Amino acid sequence: MLIHRRTAALRSTALAAAAVAAVLVLGACDADSGDGTSEKAKDAGPGVVAPGRPGEPARTLSAEEAAEETGRDTANSADFRYAQMMIEHHAQALVMTELAPKRASESTVKRLAERIAAGQKPEIGAMEGWLRKNGGDKRKQHHDHSGMPGMATEEQLESLRGAKGEAFDKLFLKLMVTHHQGAITMATEALTEGNDIFVEEMAGDVVAQQTVEIDRMRGMLD
């Protein structure tokens, strides 16, 4: 994730530099003699090569497009909604994983719960930090847990708390698969509608990590 963050920062800096360079070139074209070539250059605009995101090719942009790109990393409502909702979503996953050490029978289930908790606790902290940094407290919203994709109901959580041994293992895995699928749905929405690079990185990590965990849990259920 650190590599992604550095790449994103370099990309943002490069776009800003490209936009400035493009403006300077346009200014130079305007200052040319009136032989008609400056007007053609002005109409066409200089080509600006903008680095792509990881895995994407570079693009050639006009001056106006390059300038517009520099403002596209500003957080929007989809970014704030994702961070706020995913904090609550992750929190429920931690409630479920805390039950595993004493109620699960299989060591594989216990280790899985440990890995999930170890991955999601830092993500909660990172998203809380991002919200503080970006004025998220002023945008605080109250979300209906039942409206979040994949969230377990209170009845399901009570059943999990009352289960033990093999019954716990099966219910835990089934609920967590659904929970992970919901997280992927939310993360995919953030990747589609969001604007902030950091949130994009977090959402991308959720999709990648939880897809792997879903496959592992389905294998354990077979």
How large is the average pLDDT for residues 192-200?
A: 97
183 and 89, same structural domain? yes
Structure pTM?
0.69
91 and 186, same structural domain? yes
The pLDDT, as a whole number, for residue 18 is: 44
Where is the domain boundary, 69, 91, 119? 69
Q: Which domain holds residue 9?
A: 2-69
Pairs from 157-166 (Cβ < 8 Å, separation ≥ 24) = 157/92, 157/95, 157/96, 160/96, 160/99, 161/99, 163/103, 164/103, 164/105, 165/103, 165/104, 165/105, 166/105, 166/106
* pLDDT over 50 (residue 88): yes
pLDDT single digits (tens) 105-118: 999 999 999 999 99
pLDDT single digits (tens) 144-191: 556 799 999 999 999 999 999 999 999 999 999 999 999 999 999 999
210 and 170, same structural domain? yes
